Amino acid sequence: MGGFFLSRAFRTAVEDNFNTTLQADLDGLVAAAEADPNGGVVLEERLLNHRFERIYSGLYWEILPEARGQPVQFSHSLFDHLINIADTSSVGSTTWGYAEGPENQRLRVVAQQVVFPISATPNKDDSRAYVFMVAADLAGVDSETDEFNGTLIWAFSLLGVGLIIAVLLQVRVGLRPLARLSGALARIRDGKARRLEGTYPAEIAPLVGELNSLIQHSEEVVGRARTHVANLAHFLKTPLTVLASEAQAQSGPLAEQVQRQVDAMRRQVDHYLARGRAAGALDVLGNRTRVEEVLDDLVRVLARIHGERGIAISEDCPRSLFFRGERQDLEEMAGNLIDNACKWAKARVRVSALPEGAKWRLVIEDDGPGLKAEDRERVLGRGERLDESVPGSGLGLSIVGDIAKLYGGTLALDSSPLGGLRAQLVLPALA
């Protein structure tokens, strides 16, 4: 918009200057004209602009009788053309307009009426009027305007590019601290840092301090919640142990009923305490666990526990694989799955972990009897025990599924190529 107004202002200034020059040429033509005794016009052509002498030069003049018929005189530059003024407008005694000139030139025309006395007649008041007309080609105005517009376009283009570069630099430099802050938050989320570290500008330093305080407060709240969970577990398990011992010391239907209810309460306590602890861990930023270390420890411990049965546990896990969560939760999920596989395996358990983009998959297989398709949902969804001959509460797979869901993961059961059950646990990973 600004460029448009500048272009219009420049063209107006050029046209005004052009009209002034044209008016000066008309004044010169009138000044060079003298009346002869019979009312004719005599010109001192040496006083005129030399461009009037060159054919089709772009500057022309005509002297017409008042009736606007054929010109009585015209410039050499017109050669065989005449000026037919159109689109006229009057300013005082001067008439302005436009005309089509030789070689399709577009002419700006100025005309003025001049009266000359006739001295050869007895009547001293006799006179004759003529119209003096000067025209000039507007190509010069168009050329100057186009040149100015070209310069204007280049100037605005360079200015625009300069402004864009300046804005980009300002945004890049000005927002760099925010990019650093975003990177620091990503490091905390990925478990590579526990606090926002580094020096920040005074404008965002209070925000950094508040975020660090919020992270610390979150850790304290989760820590207190875990303490309460541990206290609750201790408080509930002790009375349940006493009840179970008393029930075992007695005989009869009442003792059996008490024992069954105590076992059910133990399973539910273990189930919901595990869920509560995992849910609390999700609120803590910066959790990062190396999968290989957890699997190594679990395989070593469980191989020793089930060593009397000759269970061989193989493990395959890349060292660069990280779980986005707490080590204790991964230990509980993987430990339950591996322990369950060892309980039902005949001789072999295979543990493997592999990355899958933003997630990773833990696959645990055994060569045991496996599970029918209709039994897998009962085990996963309701934690039912299908065989009382194997020790355990029966809630292990159900707890694993619940914890996995809290992390946005999944647990699936199907048949293993080894002949038994294959458990596939998908969890969030870190790069």
Kindly write down the DSSP assignment for every residue of 360-403, as one continuous string. Answer: EEEEEEESS----HHHHHHHHHH---S-TTS-S-S-HHHHHHHH
Tokens of 356: 């899958």
Q: How many CB atoms lie within 10 A of CB 130?
A: 24
Inform me whether the pLDDT recorded for 280 exceeds 60.
no
Least confident of 161-175, 181-195, 263-277: 263-277
HSE, side-chain direction, 13 A CA sphere, residue 126? 13
Task: Give per-residue pLDDT as tens, 296-318.
Answer: 999 999 989 888 888 899 999 99
Inform me whether the pLDDT recorded for 392 exceeds 50.
no
CA-based nearest residue to 214, from 187, 233, 195, 236:
195
Question: What are the extents of the domains in the chain?
Answer: 2-141, 217-282, 289-430
| pLDDT for position 140 | 87
| pLDDT for position 136 | 93
| pLDDT for position 317 | 92
pLDDT band at 401 (very low <50, low <70, confident <90, very high): confident
Residue 1, SS3 per DSSP: coil
| Cα–Cα distances in angstroms (integers) from residue 232 to residues 3, 87, 204, 266, in the given order | 77, 101, 42, 13
Q: Give the C-alpha separation, 200 to 193, whole Å.
A: 17
- The topology (CATH level 3) of 289-430 is Heat Shock Protein 90 (3.30.565)
Average pLDDT, the chain: 81
pLDDT band at 431 (very low <50, low <70, confident <90, very high): low
Inform me whether the pLDDT recorded for 281 exceeds 50.
yes
| pLDDT for position 256 | 77
| pLDDT for position 391 | 46
Q: C-alpha 187: how far from its chain's center?
A: 22
Inform me whether the pLDDT recorded for 389 exceeds 60.
no
Residue type, 166: A
Is the full-model pTM beyond 0.85? no
Inform me whether the pLDDT recorded for 388 exceeds 50.
no
| pLDDT for position 285 | 53
Inform me whether the pLDDT recorded for 426 exceeds 80.
yes
| pLDDT for position 363 | 94
Q: How many CB atoms lie within 10 A of CB 278?
A: 22
Residue type, 92: G
Task: Give per-residue pLDDT as tens, 32-71.
Answer: 888 777 767 888 877 778 888 889 888 998 988 876 667 7
Task: Give per-residue pLDDT as tens, 316-372.
Answer: 999 989 888 888 888 888 998 999 899 889 999 999 999 988 889 999 999 988 888
Q: Give the C-alpha separation, 32 to 53, whole Å.
A: 15
Inform me whether the pLDDT recorded for 383 exceeds 50.
no
Q: Which sign does the torsion angle of CA 273, 278, 283, 287 carry?
A: positive
Q: Which residue has the higher pLDDT, 268 or 114?
A: 114
Is residue 93 within a helix (H) or strand (E), and if so which, with residue range? none
Q: Which residue has the higher pLDDT, 394 or 249?
A: 249
CA-based nearest residue to 55, from 33, 32, 81:
81
Work out the percent of the chain whose per-residue pLDDT is above 90.
19
Mean pLDDT in residue range 172-201: 78
pLDDT band at 393 (very low <50, low <70, confident <90, very high): very low
Task: Give per-residue pLDDT as tens, 243-270.
Answer: 777 777 777 788 778 777 877 777 667 6
| pLDDT for position 109 | 93
The C-alpha angle 361, 278, 190, rounded to 5 degrees, equals 60
Least confident of 112-116, 191-195, 354-358, 374-378: 191-195
Task: Give per-residue pLDDT as tens, 138-165.
Answer: 988 888 898 888 888 898 889 989 999 9
Report the chain's terminal Cα–Cα distance, integer Å.
51
